[in-house]
Amino acid sequence: MPEAGCYTTRMKKHRLVVANWKMNPSTIGEAKRIFMAIRAKLKPSAVPVVIAPPAPYITELSKLSMGKRTTLGAQNIFPGKVGPHTGEVSTPMLRSLGVTHVIVGHSERRAMGETDAEVNEKTKQLLKEQIMPIVCIGETERADSGAHFETVERQLRAALAGVPKAQAVKVAVAYEPVWAISKGDGKGLTATAAAVHEMQIFIRRVLTDLFGRSSAASMRILYGGSVNADNADELISAAAVDGFLVGGASLEPKAFAAIVKAAQQ
């Protein structure tokens, strides 16, 4: 059984690192090469790692040797189970391929029209199917007025509306300020560790309000947005996040392995 991201309410919270490959690379051959290179660089004792490739690559990658701590994720789902939904991919399909985590509400999908209500529906569907949703939230810009806190709180409450307290611990939240996400070149702005720390505390407070102190304390809060081999150490220690959602740098095995190592401290 895959172990990455296993959770029970009694289990100590593990950190988690998720690779969001987005719409990269262009061929299955290249995807296999990157996947194998990452696998070769990860120590058996590494924190749980989830690789979320483009959906068409999942089947082939699932045939490769995973190691105990690495599993596959997906970048989106359609919240129905079967039926006339041309072009969509369902949770049971992904589950049958061994997918353990799915990213929902990524800002790049929200920019294409995904609504808070859809993020909520997908989150609940994933929980029903025992797949961990990685719920992405984050403001598009920072304002002196502090409006970014309101944005994050609204997205969080909307995404988790109706999630029973007992299931809250099966959700991971990824704080990804949109302005910090790289445009595919790995060179975006990074939020300072102090700013991420402040938001991490704020998110935990909202989660506590929603689910109570003990459940909120067990939930993972990840950070994403231009995480790289140089800033991962500081982010994990000073921002006190529970791991990372990594875009551009997750396609570079050496950099990604360094990020996973940082998450292990």
Catalytic residues: 106, 176
Burial class of residue 25 (count of CB atoms within 10 Å of its CB; 0-12, 13-18, 19+): middle
Q: How far is the CB of 210 from ligand PGA (least distance, A)?
A: 23
Which of 199, 203, 191 has its CA nearest to residue 234? 191
- Residue closer to ligand PGA by CB (options 113, 162) is 113
Residue ranges in 6-25 that form contacts with ligand PGA under rule CB under 6 A: 20
The secondary element (H helix, E strand) that includes residue 16 is strand 16-20
Structure tokens at 112: 């294409």
Q: Number of residues interacting with ligand PGA: please give it, by CB under 6 A.
A: 14
8 Å CB contact between 195 and 180: no
Contact stretch for ligand PGA (CB under 6 A) within 69-77, 119-127, 220-228, 230-238: 220-228
Q: How far is the CB of 78 from ligand PGA (least distance, A)?
A: 20
In the list 191, 227, 257, 262, the residue contacting ligand PGA (rule: CB under 6 A) is 227
Nearest-5° angle of CA 190, CA 225, CA 257? Answer: 100
State the nearest-atom distance from the C-beta of 106 to ligand PGA, in Å: 6
C-alpha pair distances (Å), 96 with each of 62, 130, 181: 11, 12, 31
Output 79 or 248, the one with its CB closest to ligand PGA: 248
Asked if residues 73 and 99 have their Cβ atoms less than 8 Å apart, the reply is: yes
- Restricted to residues 235-254, the positions that interact with ligand PGA (CB under 6 A) are 245-249
Q: In angstroms, what is the minimal distance from the CB of 82 to ligand PGA?
A: 29
DSSP string, 28-78: HHHHHHHHHHHHHHS-TTPPPEEEE--GGGHHHHHTS---TTEEEEES--B
Q: Position of tokens 């611990």?
A: 169
Binding of ligand PGA at residue 226 (CB under 6 A)? Answer: yes
CB of 245 to ligand PGA, least distance (A): 5
What's the rounded Cα separation, in Å, for the pair 222 and 163?
19
Q: Which residue sits closest to ligand PGA, CB atoms considered?
A: 247
Q: Which is nearer to ligand PGA, 73 or 247 (CB)?
A: 247
135-194 residues near ligand PGA, rule: CB under 6 A: 176, 181-182, 188
Neighbouring C-alpha atoms within 13 Å toward the C-beta of 78: 13
Query: Among 73, 225, 243, 253, which residue interacts with ligand PGA (rule: CB under 6 A)?
Result: 225
Binding site for ligand PGA (CB under 6 A): 20, 176, 181-182, 188, 224-227, 245-249
